Structure 1
Amino acid sequence: MFVVAPFDPLRKLPGPDGTWFENHFSAVLNPNFSPDTHARWTKLYGHTFRFHGFGKHDYRLMSFDFRVVAHVLNSPTFEKPWQTRLSLSRLVGRGLISSEGAEHKLQRRHLAPGFTTRSMKSMTPVFFQKAQELASHWHNNLVSSPSVSSDFPFSLTDTSVIVDVVHWVSRATFDVIGLTGFNYNFRSLQDESDSVYLAYRKMFAIADKGPGLRGLLSLFVPLLNTLLPTADTKATDECLKVIKEVGKTLVANTKAKIIAEKTNGDDSDDRDILSVLVRSNLSVDASKQLSDEELLDQCSTLLLAGTDSVALGISWSLYHLAHSLEAQTRVRNELSSIDLDSIPAEQRWEALESLPFLDAVVREALRLSPPAHSTIRVAVTDDHIPISQPVVLRDGTVISKGEYIDIKKGSFVHIPIEGINFSEELYGKDAREFRPDRWADLSSSARTPQHPGLGDSMTFSLGPHSCVGYKFSIAEIKVFLGTLLPQFVFKPQEGTEILKFNAILTKPYVKGQWQMGAQLPLVVERYHG
């Protein structure tokens, strides 16, 4: 649904012009261009402006005014567009990231107990186990061993190799979410043969290519996928079938186990997220329970949110540290101040939490490379959006701080997560640089509480749709860094430029090799302290 341009109050706002059918999507959504776009537009038009969606008939709002962003992300007036929800639900069902309103509130209420501090403590031994298993694979495949496997084809010296970090870390995080999420071992680090793992990877490799014209058409005419399915549609359907069959079994077995325990007066107190979710679900009135189908959709959502998003956080952290050996040395030295091996498994996370520079490194890496580049909302009714920065309309009229801009039902609002994270006003002139020390003396203007977990950046969003698993993500990233950095040194691969592409998540690729999908090759060598 679009607002007819002559009646759209957004037409009065400042912003870039273009021909009738010109759009600005590439400038706004391509992470290789968007930082420059955001800097140029905020300089020309201020903090709040409009741009072209599918043409001049489709004005869209974008704002770097935190008052505007907070209003949009907290107000029930703004929802994820049905097109976005339909695309996501095709892949992960009607789970937490593709639902709205009362349905979303109910799902979040049942999922929240799975991410408490108590649950986190029970999960961290798995984080350490898989991080060390990953480290062991890298040790065993360095050239100093008898042979180099096909996973490590590029040797440099007798002590270092080029590793596609994002591929290997994704395997590890898939194993982590299998065990902590469903008490299921995918064994992805061993051989990548599990049917669910293979189906998931294939399905999202297809999604990473983007919807294309046919994909956009199928959103408006869903029957196309049934009547004239493409090869990608058929492949995705086969992948979904595999994932759902295993998921149904996991849900049924978990539910039966917990019901049997209640009947027998036992309580194993399994802390995997699915068990916690099922217990929460069974403890409330039947009218407030999730159906088995809805429980299955939460499993699919956890696979997406708990694997690639965390893997990207770890991988981008290693990338930034590889390009800042001074910061890498400092965090490695800080890690050497604690003896993790002497600390009980469930207390190691607390030891890592006490390290200020490690915390700053994670905050800075997630600020510069948030897994979600941006998000979008649509107004479901007319609304007045409060502003804290003045807006100069195209006719010269000024809307002052404390006043409102009007928006009509059906208008889209783009929230530039990465763009706000790159704000020079908040983070200084070097906002696009990796400088963990900025977190020790961050300006008061950047201290607006935005999220209870990471704080001071937009990475985990805010409001009702903020990331329910932010503690899980931060803890897992710290555990992997805390395990890998004392054992390895990471350096950039000479002559290789890493760019970003924006699919469901923001992923790295090698310049000139976009068709190869997500890749992040780094030189990895043993650390000999």
Structure 2
Amino acid sequence: MLETTLIPWAVLALVVSLLWKRTKAFILKSPLDRIPGPKSQCLAKGNIAQISERNAWSFLDHLTDDYQPIVKLNGLFGKRVLWVFDPKALTHVILRDQDVYEERASSMIFRRLAFGPGLFSTDGDHHRRQRKLLNPVFSIAHMRHLTPIFYETAHRLAEGVKNQLKTSQSNEVDILAWMGRTALELIGRGGFGHSFDPLLESKSDAYADAVKDFVPTSARLNASSVLMLMSRPFAKVGDRYPAFRRVLRHAIPWIPFPALQDMKKLVDTLDDTSREIYKQKKLALVGGNEELKIGVEEGRDLMGVLLRANMEASEEDRLPEEEIIAQMSSFTFAGTDTTSNGIARIVHLLCLHPEVQERLRKEIVEARSANGGHDISYDELVELPYLDAICRETLRLYPPVPFMGREAKKDSVLPFSQPVSTVDGSAITSVLVPKGTTVFVAIYSCNRNKAIWGDDATEWKPERWLGDGVPKSVTDAKIPGVYSNLMTFLGGGRACIGFKFSQLEMKVVLSDLLSSFRLSLADGDIVWNRAGVSYPSTHRSGAKPSMPVKMELL
């Protein structure tokens, strides 16, 4: 009887607890309330919808141009969020206090469940141990070895486009689709020593389709986010017991969320393919087939190099098989859209500025002529000044990923480069960031900060990187990015480990395309959409990724 009467009280206590959790941010004061920022447009979503929508660019410009480099945003259900592009504050977030400001738990859980315990889903000492083994794999020496592989892929791309033009009634090509196929093939050949796409013809590949469908399918998981949060313990157990992670995925068809079931099929395709490639590599190294072993040992792909390095590493530095396999899907996911969409952005800008395109083509043709008409070597290619300036300026003004989220694991003091005016008119040089606060590393805003880059910071001007280089204000700012005083590839222990790989991909593909084709827009109404990775579309295609370009054979 007593137990029955206690049930309503227990339910009431649960309801009160949930209500307090959702409303306490509206009631309690926070030290972050002193930081100026835009008003909330929605009680539940705050400003998050404004930075997340497809046409968020004007709001991001508002945050960059009309506020100080520390901005308070309103998060979900009144939670305070910081938009940070002050260099000193960023240095603490991604360098000095990087163990305090870690990736958000929900992102880490999702990537662990999807890809396993790879570099992008581990943290702390676990992450550092993986990165220590992987860093040499992305060295300049290995990039030199990969250059011929990249050129061979770029040549096949050019031939594939020519074949399409021969059979088409027009010279219009969806360059974004071609760049997506090429980026995957470059990762496949350069990363795993495996070809996913011949590029010379259209060919369906289950792995390629899974990579292409991953982001739109993951976006549909919003309805089941509660389930993903409940999976926190499952993800941690799955790190230690890989079979458990596979059992969990097998249970998903019984859960009434179609998006989860679709995601399971994609993840299984990525995982099965990665395991098969890994199995072949390992058999070649440890098996009895001497010819295959020599082939892998002499191979230039990153996975072969990683396997050899792992076998030679000390016991404490060696990675388990499950972690090596997890790197394959992780790198593919991280590198395909960012690189392909980055190249597409440069192509778009070259079409908008034909004089820049002609000057760049002249630089590339002259470099090839000086090399006897052959492919430009790695050392010469990366030093071509105008090509390098165009890549840097595009990555500055249009970073494929405009911001990244971090979460304060404990109370921390965040210092500023310059005093910040508070809402009451006083000035502060630091702020207490409470535990649990989301901090957005504002890549877009830092790269466009006029106080650092000058009044022309929002203009695309490759020439700013030539001659005497960027203004002294840029170097004086001490921006903590790993690449060229930019935040595009982040910095610190979670900086993009493959940024040299990506840069080489971009330069090889551009040099080969511009040697063969003159580019112009087939549809002048190109719109770039804010997403996890920014992508182009047209009014004809709606939200569907697309960028039609006219390609005239030289």
Q: Scaled by the length of structure 1, what TM-score is found?
A: 0.88
Which protein has the bigger helix share?
2
Q: Deviations over 1:377-436 (max 9, x none)?
A: 000111111111211222332113xxx211111111011112222222233333233211
Q: Are 1:250 and 2:277 counterparts?
A: yes
The letter for the 1-side match of 2:284 is K
Aligned 8 A contact 1:501 1:509 in 2 = no
Q: Deviations over 1:76-118 (max 9, x none)?
A: 1110011111233343332212221111111111211211111
2:364 to 308, 317, 335: 335
Q: Give the whole-Å Cα distance in 2 for the aligned partners of 1:399 and 1:17.
A: 21
Aligned equivalent of 2:189: 179
Aligned 8 A contact 1:199 1:242 in 2 = yes
Aligned equivalent of 2:255: 228
Aligned pairs (5 A) from 1:305-316? 305-316=334-345
2:73 to 25, 34, 51: 51
The letter for the 2-side match of 1:116 is S
Note the C-alpha offset of 1:179: 1.2
Q: Give the whole-Å Cα distance in 2 for the aligned partners of 1:183 and 1:357.
A: 31
Aligned equivalent of 1:496: 525
Note the C-alpha offset of 1:52: 0.5
* Shift in CA distance, 26/422, structure 1 to aligned 2, threshold 3 Å: farther
* Shift in CA distance, 17/268, structure 1 to aligned 2, threshold 3 Å: closer
Q: Give the whole-Å Cα distance in 2 for the aligned partners of 1:261 and 1:242.
A: 29
Aligned equivalent of 2:14: none
Aligned pairs (5 A) from 1:186-265? 186-189=196-199, 190-207=201-218, 210-211=219-220, 213-222=222-231, 225=252, 227-260=254-287
Aligned equivalent of 1:446: 474
Aligned equivalent of 2:320: 291
Aligned 8 A contact 1:340 1:348 in 2 = no
1:139 to 151, 162, 171: 162
* Shift in CA distance, 174/374, structure 1 to aligned 2, threshold 3 Å: same
Q: Are 1:350 and 2:373 counterparts?
A: no
SS of equivalent residue, structure 2 residue 117: coil
Q: Deviations over 1:251-274 (max 9, x none)?
A: 222223323589999783433111
SS of equivalent residue, structure 1 residue 51: strand
Aligned pairs (5 A) from 1:17-96? 17-18=39-40, 20-30=43-53, 32-34=55-57, 36-56=58-78, 58-74=79-95, 75=97, 76-96=99-119
2:134 to 76, 91, 111: 111
The letter for the 1-side match of 2:124 is G
* Shift in CA distance, 195/317, structure 1 to aligned 2, threshold 3 Å: same
Aligned pairs (5 A) from 1:362-377? 362-377=391-406
Q: Calculate the aligned-residue CA RMSD, in Å.
A: 2.7
Note the C-alpha offset of 1:346: 8.5
Aligned 8 A contact 2:481 2:488 in 1 = no
Q: Give the whole-Å Cα distance in 2 for the aligned partners of 1:389 and 1:262.
A: 64
Note the C-alpha offset of 1:128: 0.8
Note the C-alpha offset of 1:509: 1.9
* Shift in CA distance, 188/29, structure 1 to aligned 2, threshold 3 Å: farther
2:460 to 424, 431, 434: 434
Note the C-alpha offset of 1:4: 4.4
Note the C-alpha offset of 1:356: 0.6
Note the C-alpha offset of 1:194: 2.5
Note the C-alpha offset of 1:452: 7.3
Note the C-alpha offset of 1:507: 1.6
The letter for the 2-side match of 1:63 is V
Q: Deviations over 1:429-484 (max 9, x none)?
A: 33233211111242111224546763022111111111111111111111111111
SS of equivalent residue, structure 2 residue 226: helix
Note the C-alpha offset of 1:31: 6.0
Greater shift, 268-277 or 106-115, is seen at 268-277
Aligned 8 A contact 1:335 1:486 in 2 = yes
Q: Give the whole-Å Cα distance in 2 for the aligned partners of 1:335 and 1:261.
A: 46
Note the C-alpha offset of 1:69: 1.1
Q: Give the whole-Å Cα distance in 2 for the aligned partners of 1:340 and 1:464.
A: 41
Q: Are 1:10 and 2:32 counterparts?
A: yes
Q: Are 1:164 and 2:190 counterparts?
A: no
The letter for the 1-side match of 2:426 is T
Note the C-alpha offset of 1:43: 4.9
Note the C-alpha offset of 1:372: 1.3
Note the C-alpha offset of 1:22: 4.8
Q: Give the whole-Å Cα distance in 1 for the aligned partners of 2:515 and 2:381.
A: 13
Note the C-alpha offset of 1:204: 3.3
Q: Give the whole-Å Cα distance in 2 for the aligned partners of 1:220 and 1:494.
A: 43
* Shift in CA distance, 54/137, structure 1 to aligned 2, threshold 3 Å: same
Note the C-alpha offset of 1:314: 1.2
Note the C-alpha offset of 1:227: 4.4
1:424 to 434, 439, 450: 450
Q: Which runs of 5+ in 2 are unaligned?
A: 1-20, 232-247
Aligned equivalent of 1:158: none
Note the C-alpha offset of 1:293: 1.3
SS of equivalent residue, structure 1 residue 337: helix
Q: Give the whole-Å Cα distance in 2 for the aligned partners of 1:425 and 1:513.
A: 38
Q: Give the whole-Å Cα distance in 1 for the aligned partners of 2:221 and 2:264.
A: 18
Greater shift, 22-31 or 114-123, is seen at 22-31
* Shift in CA distance, 304/343, structure 1 to aligned 2, threshold 3 Å: farther
Note the C-alpha offset of 1:20: 4.1
* Shift in CA distance, 288/263, structure 1 to aligned 2, threshold 3 Å: farther
**Percent of matched pairs sharing the same residue:** 26
The letter for the 2-side match of 1:8 is S
Greater shift, 406-415 or 432-441, is seen at 432-441
Aligned residues between the structures: 505
Q: Give the whole-Å Cα distance in 1 for the aligned partners of 2:368 and 2:473.
A: 37
Aligned 8 A contact 2:401 2:488 in 1 = yes
Q: Deviations over 1:323-352 (max 9, x none)?
A: 111111111111121126946989622221
Greater shift, 426-435 or 112-121, is seen at 426-435
Q: Give the whole-Å Cα distance in 1 for the aligned partners of 2:324 and 2:370.
A: 37
* Shift in CA distance, 363/87, structure 1 to aligned 2, threshold 3 Å: same
Q: Give the whole-Å Cα distance in 2 for the aligned partners of 1:409 and 1:261.
A: 55
Greater shift, 11-20 or 407-416, is seen at 11-20
Aligned 8 A contact 1:450 1:461 in 2 = no
